[in-house]
Amino acid sequence: MKSNWKITLSSDSILIPRRLEERDQDRLQSIYRLLQKTHIEGILDLRNTKITNLGKLQSVRGDLWLDKSKITTLSNLKYVRGILSLVNTPIIDLGNLISVEDALLLNLTPITTLGNLQSVGKSLWIVDTSLTDLGNLKYIGGNLWLRNTPISRLPKEERDRILSRVRIEGRVHFE
């Protein structure tokens, strides 16, 4: 069925965003004020932002989404009670992070070690990273995905030695 609707836009009906740079700066400043807190209840979605660190934040009781942000370190963050997603970020350091109660997603990051991280409650995704060391990791409550990493390319005996220090409830996937 062919539509007979015709849409005409006049200059009065077009919304022209003004001061976009000011709006971006205002949003960034409100994020930095939020990150002066040590604890946040609920989901914190900072995807596609220009932030590079998490300020004084120590815990999030919910998910923390940092995908495609400019984050390079988690600073003082110790606990995330939900999902922590760092997909496609320049993160190089997990800082003081000790525990993630849900999934931890590190895909497409230049991270090389998990540092102080001790436990991940569900799956740990380490795909297309430079990870060479599992640090202090002791427990994964779900699957471990190690695709296209230096660890996944190690000889089986060496890989097994690294993985034997971690209690993994699910399966380990290399491919």
Judged by DSSP in three states, 85 sits in strand
- Confirm if 126 and 148 have CB atoms less than 8 A apart: no
How far is CA 115 from its chain centroid?
Answer: 15
143 vs 96: CA distance, rounded Å: 23
Give the pair of three-digit tokens for residue 22.
């000011």
DSSP state letters, 143-160: -EE--SSTTTTS-HHHHH
Residue 27 φ then ψ, to 5°: -65, -45
Say what the pTM is: 0.85
| Amino acid identity at 33 | R
Residue 69 φ then ψ, to 5°: -85, 180
| Amino acid identity at 17 | P
Task: Give the pLDDT of residue 30.
Answer: 87
Q: Residue-wise pLDDT tens for the chain (175 aa)?
A: 555 544 444 445 555 555 667 777 888 888 889 999 999 999 999 999 999 999 999 999 999 999 999 999 898 999 999 999 999 999 988 989 999 999 999 999 999 889 899 999 999 999 999 988 899 999 999 999 999 999 999 999 999 999 999 999 999 998 7
Task: Give the pLDDT of residue 13.
Answer: 52
26 vs 32: CA distance, rounded Å: 10
